[in-house]
């Protein structure tokens, strides 16, 4: 005997087997569609969020990266412009793994080119390979800037010569490909120029040219700024000077009139010309007391008289030394006085040189001298403490004080031609409303909305499949509408033969009415079988009335 569980399980199967073939086919198709929709919804919900792994790759690098991703069994997508996308949770891990394998390599080669040197290379080939490697390394370094997508460097290195007159200086040219909407300022261009100049021996920064992908010359020669006017550095210095003076004026006046109630603008006329002069001056007719002795020379010469003059016959006899001196024992008085003196001469020369009183003055004027200042100051009306009262102008005495303070703040010099103009006027209040980003444009809200929409769509599809398709099918199988009445003639398969033949040609509404009639007939027959006495009494009453 079958258990209740087996009967409950076998009853839907038996009812399914009792269905016509066309209805069986429809039920199987519906179940297959439900399963396919459920599997598709689950797979769609598990679809990963792809993000950019690399972009702007060359075809060679993109192919190498794709092959490596295939070997790693990583799902990916490719888009135009050399863009490769992978699941968002694997972006950084894949970048590290690919970087360990040297991917992407890029179009430029560096000093790794020297690792594959061939045996038997000539000196010229080695020089060319070294120059290519140096150009590649410089290009890689320049590409590290956030505004540059790619770069190319060309070096013109002359052959060395032992003759000075035949020596040539190297030169370089750099082409940068900037990202869309980006630009290089003067400081960044100067940094690139000095980077290249410092990497090549004897390369002067003036021999380096930098252009962008549009053909615009980013570097200029030495005299280009003087021909076109002020250079970028001079303009920046001019703006700094004007801003410095304007801040000084606002800072000294704001405590008097209140913060935000004063605006100052300064126009400075600066002189960037170079002026260098040297002068020498001498003090006229200096005295010996005020002068310093530089050198002094004294010469003295003395000559004897004629008696002592050498004479005689030339020779050895006359060149004998004098004999010993002897004084006479007896000398006559007056003999020495009567002796005539020997004639002689004395000569003395003295030369004194003094230092010249000379003054040398070397004057070099600094660049950016202030030639003239023009200051314009606007002061707002004084606000009233009463809510409905209008602002009132400042008193003339207060305006004079503001004018004097402004002059002292900028170092007013009337001889230089400086001007200061202070105006008292009411400010126009302009309320700038902050434009808040709409919720439907916020990236975080967009991502959250996508996730919610995906979950709601999956839930809606599952709800429809369960309650709109699967439940009616199971209800028809578990609770059939037609109930066979006992005692009726049935076919071999247990179905009502007469009514089944009649139901085949009926419409749906007629079929439902026939099923209800059969159900009522069956109920009456069951009641008559179980209660024959009551049925007999009812029939007697019907006959008595007739």
Q: For residue range 340-349, list pLDDT tens digits in order.
A: 555 567 778 8
Quickly tell me which residue has 């200096």 as its tokens: 286
Q: Stretch 527-534: mean pLDDT, rounded? A: 80
- Name the fold adopted by 239-272+362-382+390-423: GMP Synthetase; Chain A, domain 3 (3.30.300)
What pairing do the DSSP bridges indicate for beta strands 419-424 and 369-379?
parallel
pLDDT tier for residue 107 given thresholds of 50, 70 and 90: low
Rounded Cα distance between 534 and 544, Å, is 16
CA 211, CA 321: separation in Å to the nearest integer? 102
In the chain, what are the helix, strand and coil shares in percent, each to the nearest 5? 45, 20, 35
Question: Is the per-residue pLDDT at 270 higher than 60?
Answer: yes
Mean pLDDT, rounded, for 267-284: 82
Tokens of 40: 């598709």
pLDDT tens per residue across span 41-91? 777 767 777 888 888 787 888 888 889 999 999 888 888 878 898 888 888
User: In whole angstroms, how far apart are CA 134 and each of 7, 230, 479, 517?
Assistant: 87, 36, 86, 101
pLDDT at 502 over 60: no
State the pLDDT at residue 235. Answer: 83
Question: How many Å is the Cα radius of gyration of the chain?
Answer: 59
Fold (topology level) of 109-218:
GMP Synthetase; Chain A, domain 3 (3.30.300)
Q: What percent of the chain has pLDDT over 90?
A: 18
- DSSP readout, 179-240? PTT----HHHHHHHHHHHHHHSTT--GGGEEEEETT--B----TTHHHHHSS-HHHHHHHHH
pLDDT at position 254, please? Answer: 92
Angle of helix 186-199 versus helix 123-143 axis, rounded to 10: 150
Whole-angstrom distance, CA of residue 152 vs CA of residue 137: 10
Alpha-carbon dihedral sign for residues 247, 253, 255, 257: negative
How far, in Å, CA of 401 to CA of 257, rounded? 11
Structure tokens at 437: 């980003």
pLDDT at 192 over 90: yes
Say yes or no to pLDDT of 98 above 60.
yes
Weakest-pLDDT range from 147-151, 321-325, 362-366, 505-509? 505-509
How many alpha carbons fall within 13 Å on the CB side of residue 477? Answer: 19
Say which residue, 402 or 387, is predicted with more confidence.
Answer: 402
- The CA-CA-CA angle for residues 33, 34, 36, to 5°, reads 65
User: Domain limits of the chain?
Assistant: 13-43, 48-99, 109-218, 239-272+362-382+390-423
pTM above 0.75, yes or no: no
Per residue in 154-174, pLDDT (tens digit) is: 999 888 877 877 788 899 999
Output 313 or 501, whichever has higher pLDDT. Answer: 313
Identify the three-state secondary structure at position 76: coil
pLDDT exceeds 60 at position 309: no
Q: Rounded mean pLDDT of the chain?
A: 77
Degrees (nearest 5) of the Cα angle 374, 380, 381?
135
Given a contact cutoff of 8 angstroms between Cβ atoms, the answer to whether 317 and 281 are in contact is no
- Is pLDDT at 252 greater than 90 in this prediction? yes
Q: Could you give the CA distance from residue 262 to residue 250 in angstroms, rounded to a whole number?
A: 6
> Tokens in use for 3?
């258990």
- Confidence class of residue 408 from pLDDT cuts 50, 70 and 90? very high
Q: How confident is the model at residue 208 (pLDDT cuts 50, 70, 90)?
A: very high
Residues 6+ apart with CB under 8 A from 175: 151, 152, 210, 211, 212, 213
Tens digit of pLDDT for each residue in 322-334?
Answer: 666 555 555 555 5
Residue 479's pLDDT band, with cuts at 50, 70 and 90, is low
- The pLDDT, as a whole number, for residue 498 is 40
Read off the tokens for 379.
Answer: 């002061």
Question: Which pLDDT band, with edges at 50, 70 and 90, does 495 fall under?
Answer: very low
Domain 48-99, classified CATH 3.40.1390.20, yes or no: no
% of the chain with per-residue pLDDT over 70: 76
Can you tell me the distance from the alpha carbon of 57 to that of 63, in angstroms, rounded to the nearest whole number? 9
Q: Which of 4-18, 121-135, 361-375, 379-393 has the lowest mean pLDDT?
A: 4-18
With 0-12 / 13-18 / 19 or more C-beta atoms within 10 angstroms meaning exposed / middle / buried, residue 399 is middle
- pLDDT tens digits, 438-473: 777 777 778 788 778 877 887 787 787 777 777 776
* Average confidence (pLDDT) over 22-28: 73
Distance separating alpha carbons of residues 143 and 197, to the nearest angstrom = 17
Asked if residues 144 and 191 have their Cβ atoms less than 8 Å apart, the reply is no
Domains 48-99 and 109-218 share a fold: no
pLDDT above 80 (res 142)? yes
**pLDDT for residue 320:** 67
Greater model confidence, 382 or 511: 382
Cβ within 8 Å of residue 192, ≥6 positions away: 142, 174, 176, 184, 210
The pair of structure tokens assigned to 31 is: 């179940």
User: What is the 3-state secondary structure of 330-364?
Assistant: CCCCCHHHHCCCCCCEEEEEEEEEECCCEEEEEEE
User: For residue 448, what are the CA distances in angstroms to 47, 88, 111, 452?
Assistant: 16, 16, 48, 6
Q: Which region holds residue 463: left if phi is over 0, alpha if psi is between -120 and 50, else beta?
A: alpha
- Per-residue pLDDT, averaged over 490-503, amounts to 42
Judged by DSSP in three states, 267 sits in strand
Q: Which of 98-102, 206-210, 359-363, 429-433 has the highest mean pLDDT?
A: 206-210
Question: Cα separations (Å) of 289 from 284, 294, 357, 507?
Answer: 14, 13, 13, 150
Q: Which residues contact 20 (CB under 8 A, 6 or more apart)?
A: none
CA distance 144 to 193: 15
């Amino acid at each position: 005997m079958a258990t209740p569980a087996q009967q409950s399980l076998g009853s839907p199967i038996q009812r399914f087997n009792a269905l016509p073939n066309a209805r069986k086919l429809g039920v199987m198709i519906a179940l297959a569609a439900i399963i396919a929709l459920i599997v598709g919804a689950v797979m769609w919900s598990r679809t990963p969020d792809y993000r950019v792994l690399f972009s702007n790759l060359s075809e060679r690098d993109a192919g190498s990266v794709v092959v490596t991703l295939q070997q790693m069994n990583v799902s990916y997508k490719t888009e135009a412009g050399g863009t490769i996308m992978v699941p968002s949770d694997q972006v950084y891990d894949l970048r590290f793994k690919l970087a360990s394998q040297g991917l992407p390599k890029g179009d430029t080669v560096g000093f790794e080119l020297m690792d594959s040197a061939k045996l038997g290379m000539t000196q010229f080939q080695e020089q060319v390979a070294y120059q290519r490697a140096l150009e590649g390394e410089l290009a890689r370094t320049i590409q590290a800037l956030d505004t540059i997508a790619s770069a190319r460097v060309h070096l013109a290195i002359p052959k060395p010569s032992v003759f000075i007159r035949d020596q040539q200086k190297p030169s370089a040219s750099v082409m940068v490909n900037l990202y869309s909407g980006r630009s290089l300022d003067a400081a960044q261009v100067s940094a690139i120029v000095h980077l290249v100049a410092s990497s090549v021996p004897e390369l002067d920064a003036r021999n380096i040219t930098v252009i962008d992908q549009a053909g615009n010359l980013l570097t200029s020669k030495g005299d280009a700024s003087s021909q076109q006017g002020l250079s970028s550095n001079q303009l920046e210095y001019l703006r700094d000077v004007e801003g410095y003076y304007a801040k000084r004026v606002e800072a000294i006046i704001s405590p008097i009139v209140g913060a935000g109630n004063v605006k100052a603008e300064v126009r400075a006329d600066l002189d960037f010309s170079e002026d260098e002069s040297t002068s020498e001056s001498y003090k006229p007719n200096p005295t010996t007391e005020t002068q310093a002795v530089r050198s002094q020379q004294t010469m003295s010469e003395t000559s004897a008289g004629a008696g002592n003059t050498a004479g005689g016959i030339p020779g050895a006899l006359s060149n004998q030394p004098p004999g010993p001196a002897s004084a006479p024992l007896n000398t006559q008085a007056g003999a020495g006085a009567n002796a005539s003196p020997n004639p002689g001469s004395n000569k003395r020369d003295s030369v004194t040189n003094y230092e010249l009183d000379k003054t040398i003055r070397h004057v070099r004027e600094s660049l950016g001298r202030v030639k003239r200042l023009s200051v314009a100051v606007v002061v707002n009306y004084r606000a009233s403490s009463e809510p409905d009262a209008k602002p009132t102008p400042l008193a003339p005495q207060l305006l004079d004080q503001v004018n004097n303070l402004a002059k002292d703040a900028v170092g007013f010099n009337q001889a230089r031609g400086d001007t200061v103009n202070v105006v008292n006027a009411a400010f126009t209040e302009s309320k700038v409303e902050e434009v808040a980003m709409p919720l439907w444009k916020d990236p975080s809200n967009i991502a959250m909305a996508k996730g919610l929409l995906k979950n709601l769509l999956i839930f809606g599809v599952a709800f429809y499949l369960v309650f709109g398709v699967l439940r009616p099918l199971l209800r028809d199988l578990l609770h059939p509408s037609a109930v066979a009445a006992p005692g009726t003639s049935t076919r071999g398969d247990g179905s009502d033969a007469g009514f089944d033949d009649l139901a085949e040609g009926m419409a749906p509404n007629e079929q439902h009415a026939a099923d209800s009639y059969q159900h009522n007939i069956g109920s009456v027959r069951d009641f008559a079988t179980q209660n024959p006495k009551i049925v007999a009494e009812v029939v007697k009453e019907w006959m008595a009335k007739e």
